[in-house]
Structure 1
Amino acid sequence: MSKRATPWKEGKIISIETRKGIFVLAQMLKEPYIRFYKAFREDENWGKVDTSIFDTLTVTAVIAQFLKSSNISIIKEAIPDTKREDSDTWIKQNSGFRKVKTWTGTENELEFTIIGEESGGSLVKKNLWWSPTHGNPTRPHPSGVIDSVILEDIPLNANAIIDQHDLTNLAVYPSLNERLYLCYKLDKNVDPYKDLVFNREIPEEYSVAIDILSAGGNAEKKETILNTYFR
């Protein structure tokens, strides 16, 4: 029997396994957004943890596949933070597709396809608590998927803007799990995919993340990655 996705409920506190044996604390917001706290453990003994004591690591939209495939536990005694205001400013990638290369000229060189015909993206407003109504079935921007554009083209060297904002993309398993593990390992909010979007240098620590992103339709490679790091 296939695994059932963890049911969604606003305010629910969950523990999610990143790589094997490293867990992160998170809170379900308005579907499909999850607030991940800068709180990691090597077990799931969170107890009556008060989430308000932790900084926000990242807020990310996820698809059902992430909830179904990840190792997730509900922390029933945890206290959710229902007063925190999450950012409504995001980075929206450019449309289309392009090929990228990592570690060019080395034995680890990889070429694969990512979203965004051109590098970079736009800084946009998108209130994660917005809901459609009869009079306003779509968001205010002509695209219908964001509220407004703050900066049409984020300069590729605008590191402060890039580092302080997350992508609007929907995250999947195991890419997001590996990203969260890297946040734990490097003790800061990092996003290998966003670094690719902005043509940043890719460090060696991202090797598993890049293997995941470049696996494409290679089922054998995917299974090897999953069995080695996540199962």
Structure 2
Amino acid sequence: MITVKQLEHEFRIGKKGKETIVPVLRDVNLTVNAGEIVAVVGRSGSGKSTLLNLISGYIAPVQGKIMINGTDVTGMSEGEWADFRLENIGFIFQSFQLIPTMTAFENVQLPLVFKGVKEVDRKIQTETMLKKVGLWEFKDHYPGELSGGQQQRVSIARALIVHPPLILADEPTGSLDSENERALLSFIQQLNREENITFLIITHDEEVANIAHRKITISDGRLVEGSDTDEI
């Protein structure tokens, strides 16, 4: 599903000609197989989110190769990446990233709008997805009228609406209380088990990492493979 080879990235700080180069990732090699839940853990500032941004195409690597679902995405343009993400990747964010002026229904159906799906089909698919996450009765509520757990479920419904084979999650439980965290983790396991969706999860939360088939630690810009019984 995901193959990363010799990936490197750095940030340049300061004015051009007087820049300070800050290495972030060095010689990163990673394979995530279809149907796996893989958690990447590490200290704050270790490069976890940078790795996710590289894999999702929001920043370009200095060096290396990224393949997703059999496609080399390394040199894609912004437009090509946008089309590829719409077909292949769903996202779950810590901050939910919902549009506050749109209802839950409108937020969830948005990817279908971008895909050009007919309105009648959008309505059917969005209703089905909101019922799946237990939020159909809240379809007309705006994000500000929903609890944190409900907002995250809307976010998940939006991520799932195009049936992506891969979901990238960045600290998905960071804004949730313990009860909603347990519910979200159970739902992720259910989706993985029943629909074979692959998850790559960036987290510092041990409870989140413990649902993964594999835990990988990032330290000083390098990945260290761990077993499913390793401590974070």
TM interval, short-chain normalised: under 0.3
Task: Say which structure is richer in helix.
Answer: 2
Give the TM-score of the pair, scaled to structure 2.
0.27
Give the TM-score of the pair, scaled to structure 1.
0.27
**More contact order relative to length (CA 8 Å, sep ≥ 6):** 2
